[in-house]
Amino acid sequence: MDKDFKPKITHYHIYRKAIIAVIILSIIAGGVYGGKNLSWKQIAADEVAVVVNNLTGGIKLINRAGAVLYYPFVQDIYILDKREQVLKMMASEIDERHPQGSPLMIKTKDGGDVVLDLQIQYMLKPELAVHVIQNTGAGNIYKQKWIYDYTRTICYYCFGELTIDEFPIASKRDVKLQKAREEINTMLDTHGLFITSINLSDYRYYREYAEKIQERRLADKEVEEQKTRASAARENQRKVVVEETKKLEVEVARFRGECDKRIMDARGSAEAKKQDADAYLIRARFDADAEFERLAKEAAAILATVKTDAEGTLLLRKALEGEGGRTLVRLEYAKRLKQAIVRSTPIIRQGVETPQSIQRFKYIEDAPKIDYMFPEPPDAVLVSPMKPGPDKSP
């Protein structure tokens, strides 16, 4: 056996110890060097920081204000602005990339060209700052990659749904602004961004469009004035109708009141007349009953008198039925003959009359007639004994 022989394991231990020593020395040297080059950054209240460890690959989110310590070569720190920022798409924003500005030019659904000046206000969601760094990259690249492209595209087709004539109407523009903001936020939500508002500061047409729109506005204004006048006329008509209706109602109420008064007066008068008629009827009944009683008594008295006269006449008739009756007639006849005046009439020629004869005939005609129970003598003329006629015979 060779006396100079040394086991290989001995050399291995020596090499391993040397490597470990080198590593320890390297770590000590790196720590000393890193300690000398330890740096820090100030985080403002409106900023958020993302710290990336290059050795372990760890990522840390710092969402507070203050100083942050880090190793420049071992760690990287990215600071993002979480304030509300403004993206201007206007003709006045002229730079190297946009020498004529960066307004949004759209085409309406009726084929018109409109230039819009927009201001997009947006914010970064601090809790998603790590996602923004990992998905988009460091710096402000997310502004161009997400905000600018999404807002221009979505605003283009949202405002393109309007017509040329609808752009002057603020309410319709506001509807499209709200719709664009909601759609943009839906798209940017997964990228850690949020649109707070979209402001349309100005819009422009070509001259021909502007002239036609101005003419249309004047015509619409005239139409609105005519509508206003018509509305005022209708209001005045309604006012007049209301006034006349009130007057009519007053007149009708007054007439109804008069009618009611007349009806009440008529009813009162009718009631009074009815009461008077009832009283007259009662009085007439009493008077009729009294008259009936009087007439009944008077009729009874007349009936009694007539019966008595009839009975007397009957008795007289019975008394005159015999010889005594004839004797009484002869006696009465004699009395009449005793008072009678007998005159003679001379005979004259035919057609010749004397005044005495005329006067005599007149007296005879004026004498009262007397009824006799027996025929008169043919040549006798009876004159009332109370008024004997004058004797003018020759």
Tens of pLDDT along 295-343?
888 888 888 888 888 888 777 777 666 666 677 777 777 777 777 776 6
Evaluate whether residue 157 is within a structural domain. Answer: yes
Evaluate whether residue 57 is within a structural domain. Answer: yes
Whether residue 11 has pLDDT greater than 80 = no
Residues 66 and 97 in one domain: no
Domain around 149: 84-205
Whether residue 64 contacts residue 127, with contact meaning beta carbons closer than 8 Å, is answered with: no
Evaluate whether residue 227 is within a structural domain. Answer: no
The end-to-end CA distance of the chain, in Å, is 254
Evaluate whether residue 321 is within a structural domain. Answer: no
Residues 130 and 68 in one domain: no
pLDDT of residue 182: 92
Select the highest-mean-pLDDT range: 3-12, 78-87, 90-99, 359-368: 78-87
d(CA 310, CA 305): 8
Burial class (CB in 10 A: 0-12, 13-18, 19+), 115: middle
Per-residue pLDDT averaged across 250-257, rounded? 89
Q: How many CB atoms lie within 10 A of CB 367?
A: 16
pLDDT of residue 29: 55
Report which of residues 119 and 134 the model is more confident about.
Answer: 119
Give the dihedral sign, CA 281/285/290/295: positive
Amino acid at 279: A
Evaluate whether residue 294 is within a structural domain. Answer: no
Dihedral, CA atoms, 13, 16, 17, 19, nearest 10 degrees? 160
Residues 117 and 53 in one domain: no
Residues 68 and 104 in one domain: no
b vs e for 375-393, b when ≥16 Cβ sit within 10 Å of the residue's Cβ?
eeeeeebbbeeeeebeeee
CA–CA distances in Å: residue 131 to residues 15, 75, 195, 394: 46, 18, 18, 186
d(CA 57, CA 62): 16
Question: Nearest-CA neighbor of 125 among 201, 48, 17?
Answer: 48
Whether residue 151 contacts residue 184, with contact meaning beta carbons closer than 8 Å, is answered with: yes
Domain final position from 28, 54, 78: 78
pLDDT of residue 350: 54
What is the tally of structural domains in the chain? 3
Residues 142 and 103 in one domain: yes
Give the range among 247-261, 284-298, 352-366 with minimum mean pLDDT. 352-366
Residues 6+ positions from 226 with CB-CB distance below 8 Å: none
Residues 74 and 88 in one domain: no
Residues 6+ positions from 4 with CB-CB distance below 8 Å: none
Residues 90 and 200 in one domain: yes
d(CA 289, CA 285): 6
pLDDT of residue 26: 64
Evaluate whether residue 257 is within a structural domain. Answer: no
Domain final position from 19, 50, 78: 78
Residues 12 and 123 in one domain: no
Amino acid at 100: Q
Confidence label for 385 from pLDDT (cuts 50, 70 and 90): very low
Structure tokens at 72: 């420049």
Q: Is 235 left (phi over 0), alpha (psi -120 to 50) or beta?
A: alpha
Whether residue 178 contacts residue 154, with contact meaning beta carbons closer than 8 Å, is answered with: no
Residues 27 and 119 in one domain: no
Evaluate whether residue 268 is within a structural domain. Answer: no
Against a cut of 0.85, is the pTM above it?
A: no
Residues 102 and 192 in one domain: yes
Evaluate whether residue 289 is within a structural domain. Answer: no
CATH number of the domain to which 166 belongs: 3.30.479.30
Sheet holding 59-62, edge to edge: 59-62, 47-53, 75-81
Residues 185 and 130 in one domain: yes
pLDDT of residue 31: 52
pLDDT of residue 342: 64
Q: What is the pLDDT of residues 203-238, one digit of tens each?
A: 887 667 667 777 877 888 889 889 989 989 988 999
pLDDT of residue 13: 60
Residues 22 and 121 in one domain: no
Whether residue 128 has pLDDT greater than 80 = yes
Per-residue pLDDT averaged across 138-163, rounded? 84
Give the range among 173-177, 256-260, 291-295, 377-381 with minimum mean pLDDT. 377-381
Domain final position from 56, 78, 100: 78
